[in-house]
Structure 1
Amino acid sequence: MPLLDARSDRALLAAFRAGERQAFDELVRRHGDRLWSVALRVLRDPDDAADVVQDALLSAYRRAAGYRGEAEVSTWLHRIVVNRCIDRIRHERARPHVTLGRRHHLLHAAGDPAERTTTRLAVVDALGHLPVEQRLAVVLVDVEGYPVAEAAAILEVPVGTVKSRCARGRIRLAALLGHLREQA
């Protein structure tokens, strides 16, 4: 098993741009799981999320020379994934279809497994009812735990926009998930 590379993300990207192909592999190891997690929560399908992340990483690999260093490398990678998610959602809206048996990979939590699964499925479904802009903001800030400023950088919008999208998304989620409070 290779040793972990202690270089910063920027140093790794610079090394990759200088011809060290393994440096990009380290960036993928560092950020791949979180990129996939964001894509999964936005798209709600593991296969779609995997496709989007693969496409985004291929794009980052090819466009690394164009990285300007204005944002952190992780923010740059997340922005590419978010853009691919938006493209996928737009494409799916343009071509409606019926899907059966979608499976969702969910986070672990304490409590009764059946109740926990029911709650998670309800939350995943409710997230799917939010407008894309609100869903992206809520997923980045509330689900993935990004600071609002970093989410704003990823989404390329002002901090206030992320805050308002989260607030509106939370209000919609509260209405959609109110039945869960009644069951508690």
Structure 2
Amino acid sequence: MTGWGASSPGRSRGTALPSDVDAAFSDGRHLDDDYLVRRAQGGSVAAFEVLVARHQQQVFRLAHRLVGERAAAEDVAQDALVSAWRALPGFRGEAGFATWLHRITTNAARQLLARRRSTVPLTGEEPVPEHEQPEARALTTARTDALRVAVRELPFEQRAALVLVQFEGLSYAEAARTLEVSEPTLRGRVARARRSLLEQLRGWR
């Protein structure tokens, strides 16, 4: 992900684990999120950078699906990770770190869209398999564009619920915790979003 300032507390600096996190490990893959969170809460920027390296692509992907445009998604992702760093002392672990980060990212996307209050161009940037023929590639791109537009036109609360369950693979319970709503409420939002998409994409079936 590009566009990060050099002084950002969440900037990844490679895969090597900094010595001030734990000299017994040469790679952050061996350290779980809970351990790294505790170290980061103790003031270790390096520990937080390992968490960022682990989760930043997921944060950006979620942001991109919520706001629909790459530059805006980069802004949301950066805001979310900076907000996570600032809020980390108050993180109590009632939910997992990833769920907490989903919540912060969703809130950052909501705030950005509330500030803009305008239609963001959708670019259909998902990669297309190289083996597809030009005609098939064009059809796939058109379908992707249509889906992105349809998702972007959903009310934000429905969009967030659908993205977390349908695209991010969270369970209903996890998505409900992320959005801080009841599971029945979350299920209702997903169902309404799916019905709306089916109606809007009827011509692509």
Same fold flag (TM > 0.5): yes
For residue 171 of structure 1, what is the aligned residue in structure 2? 195
Structure 1 distance, partners of 2:138, 2:69, is 21
> What RMSD, in angstroms, separates the aligned Cα atoms of the two structures?
1.7
Gaps in structure 2 of 5+ consecutive residues: 1-14, 17-26
Deviation at residue 108 of structure 1 after TM alignment:
4.4
Tell me if 1:120 matches 2:128.
Answer: no
Q: Which has the bigger relative contact order, CA under 8 A and spacing at least 6?
A: 1
Partner Cα separation in structure 2 for residue 177 and residue 64 of structure 1 = 41
Alignment of 1:84-163 (within 5 A): 84-93=108-117, 96=118, 103-108=123-128, 112-163=136-187
2:63 matches 1:43: no
**Which runs of no fewer than 5 residues in structure 1 stay unpaired?**
none
Contact 1:39 1:49 in 2 (8 A): yes
What is the identity percentage for the equivalent residue pairs of Structure 1 and Structure 2? 36
Residues 62-101 of structure 1, C-alpha deviations (whole Å, 9 max, x = no match): 12111121111111111111001111111112xx4x766x
| Structure with more helix by fraction | 1
Superposed, 1:23-62 pairs within 5 Å as 23-62=47-86
SS in structure 2 opposite 1:68? coil
| Equivalent residue pairs, number | 177
Q: 1:63-78 to 2 correspondence within 5 Å?
A: 63-78=87-102
Residue 164 of structure 1 aligns to which amino acid in structure 2? G
Length-normalised TM-score, structure 2 = 0.81
Partners of 2:64 and 2:120 lie apart in 1 by 16
User: Which is further off, 124-133 or 60-69?
Assistant: 60-69
After the TM superposition, which segments of 4 or more aligned residues of structure 1 sit over 6 Å from their partners?
A: none
1:106 counterpart letter in structure 2: E
